[in-house]
Structure 1
Amino acid sequence: MSETKLRDQICLFSRSLFERGLTSGSSGNVSIRLEDGGFLTTPTDSSLGFLDPARLTRLDAAGHVLSGDKPTKELPLHQALYETRNGAGAIVHLHSTHSVAVSMLPEIDPHSVLPPLTAYSVMRVGHTALIPYYRPGDPAVADAIRNLHGKHTAVLLANHGPVVAGRTLQAAINSIEELEETARLYLLLRGLNPRLLSQEQVEDLVDHFKL
């Protein structure tokens, strides 16, 4: 896909996320890895609902800005996920309400934040790791992600929000939306002892869909 079409795709999908309330104000950021190893990212302090394709930040493979506005302050966490997830072609970070709420709960497992509630939560998200709280834009969050050694496509930043990598932007968005819906289900079912997918059912999904 041409860079022009990728720019348009970022703006189109970002506006959809914004209009459906999955991120608000100037929160959230999106990036795509280009064929030359460089990146397109949303600019810092920009609203995902009102992006200009021409003003998206274009960076080279080393992270140097080539054109466009100043990049998102969360660029280090994007770079860390790309470094550790070789198949990642796009990354989406939101401040979606239910995922943020789950990140604050004391009982969650930092190695697998949400239990296997549905087949699609297993297929599209898998195990989500919890990253301890860091100030937004703190480069130390990148080291925390690198310490996961690429084992997770989705991470949840404590008191902040989810970050999901995908082979394509559409795949990353599908995954982060599935994560948000799973977080919503978890909050609705919290304390009700819901029936989870069994280990055998999870393994069947993994084997059948080659996850």
Structure 2
Amino acid sequence: MSEIAKTREQIALYAKSLFDRGLTHGSTGNISARLSDGSLLVTPTGSSMGFLDPARISQISEKGELVSGDRPTKEIPLHAAFYETRHQTGAVVHLHSCHSVALSLLPEIDPDNVLPPLTAYGIMLLGKVRLLPFFVPGDPAMGEAVRGLAGKHAAVLLANHGPVVAGKTLEAAVNAMEELEASAKLALLLRGANATALNEDQINQVVTRFDVEWT
């Protein structure tokens, strides 16, 4: 099987898994993956992640031109910004997952790190998650906001919209996205409970042991 065919199959498989478990709904969310020639495979606009036809997943050239498949998601500028600023990025996942969106609406969250340090895995897989302001879906300004982070964050949370996670591989990006949603759920469950988060020394141990970007 060719690289493009295999990657299209993988995108459809992961997308269905996310959809079937309620992490995305309707026609929301999008996934992209970078091929060895620099082109991108991206889920098509208006498509449900639970019912993707692999052959219709969009292929976009390095110049941003549609090579094959259906018309791509309108969030292409958002995905492109991660590939441009984090050169190790091999895939990007963007969802409208419920708990992450809910967390983005709370006035007390820290915009520099929206997830409280509750578990080692939240730190290991995500680093600090930056809150970005609200943008109309498809607004190229979302991409500019990501570029403004200068590649220092693998995950962001768009206010009133949803999370975006970049990973070295498609599997890594999906796993990190699931960790973000689980961490957001945990933070909401513990809201107001005076829970014991990891202290600074414990955070530093995790950051050092697993070489985490923590800026």
- 1:14 aligned onto 2:15: yes
Q: Match for 2:190: what amino acid?
A: L
- 1:63 aligned onto 2:64: yes
Once the 2 structures are TM-superposed, how far is the Cα of residue 54 of structure 1 from its aligned partner? 0.6
Cα separation, 2, equivalents of 1:180 and 1:206: 20
1:91 maps to: 92
Contact 2:93 2:174 (C-alpha < 8 Å) held by counterparts = yes
2:41 maps to: 40
Off by >3 Å, runs of 4+ in structure 1: none
For residues 71-112 of structure 1, what are the alpha-carbon distances to aligned partners after superposition, in whole Å with 9 as ceiling and x for unaligned? 001010000111111111000000100000001111111111
2:82 maps to: 81
1:53 maps to: 54
Contact 2:44 2:70 (C-alpha < 8 Å) held by counterparts = yes
Q: Match for 1:96: what amino acid?
A: S
1:183 maps to: 184
Once the 2 structures are TM-superposed, how far is the Cα of residue 3 of structure 1 from its aligned partner? 1.4
Q: Match for 1:95: what amino acid?
A: H
TM-score with structure 1 setting the length: 0.98
Which structure 1 residue ranges, 5 or more long, are not aligned? Answer: none
Q: Match for 1:172: what amino acid?
A: A
Contact 2:60 2:66 (C-alpha < 8 Å) held by counterparts = yes
Q: Match for 2:160: what amino acid?
A: N
Contact 2:3 2:35 (C-alpha < 8 Å) held by counterparts = no
Q: Match for 2:103: what amino acid?
A: V
2:194 maps to: 193
Once the 2 structures are TM-superposed, how far is the Cα of residue 207 of structure 1 from its aligned partner? 1.4
Cα separation, 2, equivalents of 1:147 and 1:109: 18
Q: Match for 1:44: what amino acid?
A: T
1:207 maps to: 208
1:155 maps to: 156
Cα separation, 1, equivalents of 2:47 and 2:35: 21
Number of positions where the alignment pairs a residue of Structure 1 with one of Structure 2:
211
For residues 120-155 of structure 1, what are the alpha-carbon distances to aligned partners after superposition, in whole Å with 9 as ceiling and x for unaligned? 000011100011000000111111111111111000
Cα separation, 2, equivalents of 1:44 and 1:160: 17
Q: Match for 1:113: what amino acid?
A: V
2:118 maps to: 117
Q: Match for 1:52: what amino acid?
A: D
2:140 maps to: 139
Once the 2 structures are TM-superposed, how far is the Cα of residue 31 of structure 1 from its aligned partner? 0.1
SS in 2 for 1:102: helix
Cα separation, 1, equivalents of 2:211 and 2:129: 18
Cα separation, 2, equivalents of 1:16 and 1:64: 29
Cα separation, 1, equivalents of 2:125 and 2:101: 19
Q: Supply the RMSD in Å over aligned alpha carbons.
A: 0.8
Cα separation, 2, equivalents of 1:22 and 1:132: 22
**Identical pairs, percent:** 59
TM-score with structure 2 setting the length: 0.96
Cα separation, 1, equivalents of 2:55 and 2:148: 35
